[in-house]
A and B are shown apart, each in its own frame.
Chain A
Amino acid sequence: MTFKGSVNARILTPTLIVLIVVAALVGPRGVDSTLLLRDLWSRGLSGWGWLVLVQLRLPRVLIAASTGAALSMAGAALQTWLRNPIADAGILGISAWGALGAVLALYLGLSAVTPWAQPVMAAAAALLALSVLLLARQRAESPERLLMLGVGLGGIGASLISLVLSWSLPDWKASRQIIAWLLGGLDGRTWVHAAAALPLAIAGMALLLAEHDGLDALRLGPLEAASLGVDVPHLEWRLVVGTGLLAGAAAAGAGAIGFVGIIVPYLVRSTSFARHRHWLIHSGLAGAAFLVLADLIARRAPGAGEIQLGVLTGLLGAPILLRQLLIKQGHAQ
Chain B
Amino acid sequence: MTQFALSAQDIVAVRQQRRVLDGIDLCLIPGQVASIEGASGVGKSTLLHILAGLLTQDAGNVSIAGCALETLAPRERAQRLAIAQQTPVLPAELSVLELVRLGRLPHKVPGTGVLNWFWQESEFDAEPIDRALTAVGLRSLAARTLGSLSGGEQRRAHLARVLAQETPLLLLDEPTTHLDQVTAHQLMKELQHRAEQGTAILMVTHDADWVSRYCDHELRLENGRLSALQRPNQRKISR
What is the interface of chain A, defined by CB distance below 8 A to chain B?
A: 83, 206, 209-213, 216-217, 219-221, 223-224, 226-232, 269-270, 273-275, 277
Contacts and interface: CB of A to CB of B under 8 A. Distances in A.
A213 B116 contact: yes
Most chain B beta carbons < 10 A, residue from A211, A224, A229, A274: A229
A16 to B, nearest CB: 19
B209 interface: no
Given A210-B114, A216-B105, 20 more contacts: A209-B114, A210-B113, A210-B116, A212-B117, A219-B91, A219-B94, A220-B88, A220-B99, A223-B54, A224-B85, A226-B53, A227-B78, A228-B103, A228-B105, A229-B75, A231-B74, A231-B75, A232-B74, A274-B95, A277-B117
Interface in B71-101: 73-79, 82-83, 85, 88-91, 93-95, 98-99
A236 to B, nearest CB: 13
Interface of B: 49, 52-54, 73-79, 82-83, 85, 88-91, 93-95, 98-99, 102-103, 105-106, 108, 112-114, 116-117, 165
Most chain B beta carbons < 10 A, residue from A209, A224, A275: A224
Contacts of A273: 93-94
A303 B93 CA distance: 43
16 contacts: A209-B117, A210-B116, A211-B113, A220-B90, A223-B49, A227-B82, A228-B78, A228-B103, A228-B165, A229-B76, A229-B78, A229-B79, A231-B73, A231-B74, A231-B75, A269-B93
Contacts, number: 77
B95 A227 contact: no
Top 10 nearest A-B pairs (CB, nearest first) are A210-B113, A229-B78, A229-B75, A229-B106, A221-B89, A274-B98, A231-B74, A229-B74, A228-B105, A273-B93
A229 B105 CA distance: 8
Given A220-B91, A273-B93, A226 B113 contact: no
B145 to A, nearest CB: 10
Given A273-B93, A274-B94, A216 B102 contact: yes
A223 B94 contact: no
A212 B116 CA distance: 9
B89 A227 contact: no
B203 to A, nearest CB: 16
B57 to A, nearest CB: 16
A227 B52 contact: yes
Contacts of B79: 229
B185 to A, nearest CB: 26
A224 B89 contact: yes
A206 B114 contact: yes
Contact of A275 (B85, B88, B98): B98
B107 to A, nearest CB: 9
A223 B136 CA distance: 23
Most chain A beta carbons < 10 A, residue from B76, B79, B113: B113
A229 B104 CA distance: 10
A279 B98 CA distance: 14
Contacts of A223: 49, 54, 85
A49 B19 CA distance: 78
Contacts of A216: 102, 105
A209 B114 CA distance: 7
A213 B98 contact: no
B55 to A, nearest CB: 9
A18 to B, nearest CB: 25
A217 B102 contact: yes
A77 to B, nearest CB: 14
Nearest to B81: A227
Nearest to A220: B89
B142 to A, nearest CB: 13
A269 B33 CA distance: 42
Contacts of A209: 113-114, 117
Contacts of A224: 85, 88-89
A213 B112 CA distance: 12
B102 A226 contact: no
B54 A227 contact: yes
Contacts of A270: 93
B89 A228 contact: no
A217 B105 CA distance: 8
A205 B117 CA distance: 13
A228 B102 CA distance: 8
A231 B77 CA distance: 11
Contacts of B114: 206, 209-210
